[in-house]
Amino acid sequence: MRTHTISVLAGDGIGLEVMPVAMQVLDAAAEPHGVGFQWREHPWGSDYYLAHGRMMPLDAIDQLAQTDAVFLGAVGSPEVSDTETLWGMLIPIRREFDQYVNLRPIRSFSGIASSLAGSPEIDMVIVRENVEGEYSAVGGRSYRGTPYEAAYQQALFSRFGIERIARFAAEVAASRSGRLVSATKSNGIIHTMPFWDEVVAEVVAEFDTVVLESVLIDALAARMVRRPRSLDVIVASNLFGDILSDLAAGAVGSIGIAPSANLDPERRHPSMFEPVHGSAPDIAGQGIANPIGQIWAGAMMLDHLGHPDIARRLEAAFTAVIESGLVTPDLGGTATTAEVGAAVIERLGSV
């Protein structure tokens, strides 16, 4: 038996509901292949914050660093400000472990009506820069409480940071259609975005089989809705990639199915796997959250851990379940979180 030690951070809200289901599914998928998981569960998140004044203990990063990967549910609570939850947990993990790639595949499933007219087939990968860009801690507020009050937020784009994300995205594109779209806004954001364009073009020029197209983010948003099949691999900055991936998931039908991998491609540190969605306080506690995003994130974790065969089987199983119509209410069905998990486990026996 080959065993992987995984840090489990179910977090808040529906993270606590989809995580146990995904763990059961992963155990069931891996076991017949002689692969097992040692789950190290940590109760970190908003409840921990309310009790201890911080989202994670001081040595959290050291604890996570001793494991092979981090499996995260969602963080965020109406009782704690989003700046505390994001900057106290998710963002420090991404940055301490230099998980500079946020890989977000999304595709449509037959039988699930897309939110778009004509239900076009969607199959794309968004490669989002994950540790710099617009989500920077540099800035401040001045003259609070006066009519002159102002806020400043400094974006940070480094050559090193753009080169490595562009190179990763070009490799993904080369392994697929060879078409790479770079999201930009060099007409409005006149310092960082022209620099992004230049460096991305330089890097992609090294790849003979990849054709680069630079598209302004506003036009790209419209194109994703009107002509999603014209898009295959998209490379984007932290903010643009964040927004585009929710848009793509929404176009497919529900954000509840979308997975995401926060990768340190050089494997110096653990990578982190999580659904794209948040803690969904509006449906938390009802047992109806869609667990597919968490399960699919688990399949990406299997890929990263060196088990593409198990990942493909798991993807085939959850695809069959979705396409059979056994889906949660966000996709128009009546199934519960637990029922979807049980159905995926049952399907694993026949794929």
Shortest Cβ contact with Mg ion: which residue? Answer: 242
Angle at 150 between CA 159 and CA 139, to 5 degrees: 30
282 lies in the site for ligand NAI, by CB under 6 A: yes
194/333 with CB nearer ligand NAI: 333
Q: Interface with ligand NAI by CB under 6 A: which range of 145-153, 195-203, 223-231, 281-289?
A: 281-289
Number of residues that bind ligand NAI (CB under 6 A): 21
- DSSP bridge partners of 214: 182
Which of 48, 49, 135, 185 is catalytic? The answer is: 185
Our answer to whether residue 62 is catalytic in this structure is: no
157/296 with CB nearer ligand NAI: 296
CA 101 to chain centroid: 10
121 lies in the site for ligand NAI, by CB under 6 A: no
Q: How far is the CB of 249 from Mg ion (least distance, A)?
A: 9
Which of 49, 135, 242, 303 is catalytic? The answer is: 242
Q: How far is the CB of 155 from Mg ion (least distance, A)?
A: 17
Query: Which residues in 10-49 contact ligand NAI (CB under 6 A)?
Result: 14
315 lies in the site for Mg ion, by CB under 5 A: no
Q: How far is CA 195 from CA 102, 167, 188, 218, 219, in A?
A: 21, 16, 13, 18, 19
d(CA 76, CA 86): 7
129/242 with CB nearer Mg ion: 242
Our answer to whether residue 218 is catalytic in this structure is: yes
Q: Which two tokens stand for residue 175?
A: 């392994």
165/276 with CB nearer Mg ion: 276
Instruction: Outline where DSSP puts E strands in the chain.
Output: 2-11, 35-41, 69-74, 101-107, 123-129, 139-142, 150-153, 179-184, 211-216, 233-236, 259-263, 271-275
Our answer to whether residue 246 is catalytic in this structure is: yes
Number of residues that bind Mg ion (CB under 5 A): 1
56 lies in the site for ligand NAI, by CB under 6 A: no
In 3-state terms, the chain is what percent helix, strand and coil (to 5)?
A: 45, 20, 35
Binding mask 283-302 for ligand NAI (x = CB under 6 A): x-----xx--x---------
Query: Which residues in 205-244 contact Mg ion (CB under 5 A)?
Result: 242
Instruction: Judge residue 334's burial from the number of C-beta atoms within 10 Å of its C-beta, 0-12 exposed, 13-18 middle, 19 or more buried.
Output: exposed
Q: Interface with ligand NAI by CB under 6 A: which range of 23-31, 73-81, 213-221, 313-321?
A: 73-81
94 lies in the site for ligand NAI, by CB under 6 A: no
Q: Interface with ligand NAI by CB under 6 A: which range of 71-79, 127-135, 215-223, 298-306?
A: 71-79
Q: Residue 164: how many CA atoms within 13 Å on its side-chain side?
A: 17
Please choose, from the candidates 182, 209, 206, 217, the residue with its C-alpha nearest in 3D space to the C-alpha of residue 196: 182
Q: How far is the CB of 217 from Mg ion (least distance, A)?
A: 15
Please choose, from the candidates 269, 212, 220, 273, the residue with its C-alpha nearest in 3D space to the C-alpha of residue 244: 220
Q: Interface with ligand NAI by CB under 6 A: which range of 2-10, 70-78, 164-172, 204-212?
A: 70-78
Q: Which two tokens stand for residue 196?
A: 């992004």
In sign, the C-alpha dihedral spanning 267, 269, 274, 276 is negative
The torsion of the CA quartet 325, 326, 327, 331, rounded to 10 degrees, works out to 10
- Binding site partner of 88, from ligand NAI, Mg ion, none, Cβ cut-off 5-8 A by kind: none
Q: Per residue in 214-227, is it b (16+ CB within 10 Å) or e — as a string?
A: bbbbeebbeebeee
Our answer to whether residue 264 is catalytic in this structure is: no
Show which residues are catalytic. Answer: 143, 185, 218, 242, 246
Q: Footprint of ligand NAI on this chain (CB under 6 A)?
A: 14, 74-76, 82, 90, 255-256, 274, 277-283, 289-290, 293, 328, 330
Q: Which residues bind Mg ion (CB under 5 A)?
A: 242
